[in-house]
Structure 1
Amino acid sequence: MNTTPHDATLTTADGRSALRMERRLPHPPEKVWAALTDPAALRAWFPAEVTVELTPGGAMTFRFPGAGADESGLTGTVTDVEEPRLFAFTWDTDHLSWTVTPDGEGSLLTLVHTFGDRPGAASFASGWHLCVDALARLLGGVPAVPARERGALHESYIGRFGLDRGTVESAEPAGPGGSDLLVRFERQLVRPAETVWAVLSAGIEPVAGLPVPVGFTAGTAPEGPVTEVRAPRSLTYTVAPHSAVTWELREGTGHGARLVLTQTGPAGWDTDAALAAWRTRIEELAVALVNS
């Protein structure tokens, strides 16, 4: 499997993100159009089974593999149909636009996926990467089942889109003097919470009142006493009288748990050092999870 990202960009404005991906295909637009819009062809490469009324305003349904007979799946609405150039639709709260333009003897396929969950962008990009690879195989007359991905492709998009970076915010509620700061990271991981917790704890289960296992620490946040733990979902420990670290493993995009890590500190705290230390620690965790 090719783990080099396709020609992809991510932009964000007004709380919505747009993932744009391009793929050149050695097939005429009419052939690509049929693979994009025929439910029988979609079934071979798209991540869900699709029914569609191929007209603006037409209804769409998306049923995922393994869904029970009583599960209705997600719904959408066709927003644009311009054969053989443009097919666009909503998918729950997201919007997808597929554009096919002539490119020599072949076609240029462009996907723009607009969504609200920016930290999930690497999941969406790696998922579409594999789907478009499967589409290309289908058009070439070879088996089109999307490949399984262990996480390396996902992590390549994390780096490409800068999703490994943290932020500095005002802590709410504010600490003494009203000037506490908060370093925050939110990162989609590629393994479930139970696996992430096992890697972090390394066999030493955190206990309230005892020093936190070293896997939960970083260079600027050494071992301190655990104040709250709810395995395998959250842990808080204190670093100093006015500093605490919290790990949360929330529901994510389906690729794995969503990590939200925060550290609070007083005014004048070296947040740059904390950002660098936690970025390194989370990257180490991400690598360990891909290799797990």
Structure 2
Amino acid sequence: MSEQHQPANDLRLRAVVPATPKIVYEALTDPAALRVWLAEHAEVDLPGTYRFWGRFTPDGGAPHQRVLHVDERTLRFAWTVDGVETTVGFELAEDEDGTLVTLIQSDLPSFEDVLADTAGARGALQTFWTLAIANLADYLAGRELTSKCDFTSPELHASVVIDATPDQVFDSMTQSDQFHRWFGANVDIEPYVGGRFAMGGFELDPGGATFVEFEPGRKATLRFADGFTSGWELEGSDGKTRLTLVQSGFDPANPPYPGWAGWLGGIAALRRYHEQPGWRSIWREISAPGVPEGMLAID
């Protein structure tokens, strides 16, 4: 995996996780660890076998991985998703805050294809990996993990407890400057009923979604042009907040898994934002095929 060249259809993620390269490598290659932070099922016997599958994996009805290369800092394997063979590579490097993890996966569909819902299971690969790496970071830190995306279920529902008050959590989800910090994307938000919510900003998405419910500290619901809704409810107790997210209004035979996995990865970041002293995003780079310039913004 070269630092000099990245093909246009490759996904590239770089994140710093809180452990030494040796410990991170163990988490990447221990099947018991993989069954915690990555997948429902995993089998590893390197250098010959590296497989994961199950309901938390896109196209996960059976394992479709084949080892290409392995050494003490690198793991590379072929992964066939929806009949397309991709190449996935992990590289580990020392960092002052732990380990810099670089992941590159080839042959992803374009952002336009994902939005048009023509990408199949490959459309969820970017958000699958961002959620997985977020959970890897929390696994290494000994923190509770965020719910994985179940690619077999039409029920898009998750609940997490955040160590912050409902007002604090609500503000961080509905104030543009705060949302930008923890989610890692530019966003314009009009925080009231009838107001717009535009990932990437109003220049990229002038219509955006519309708040059809907005009760500060309690709940908010966004409705998109196609009738799809995304809502969250907050309930406080002892200075903490139970945040419940629900998405609905979609074809149950074709749930919007890419966006749902993206929200779950965002919630992992939201939890760290509120709970870690001296918070800093784990992300150093997120580069995906066809994502409009200016949408993603990592400080």
TM-score range, shorter-chain basis?
0.3 to 0.5
Taking structure 2 as the reference length, the TM-score comes to: 0.43
Higher relative contact order (CA 8 A, sep 6+): 2
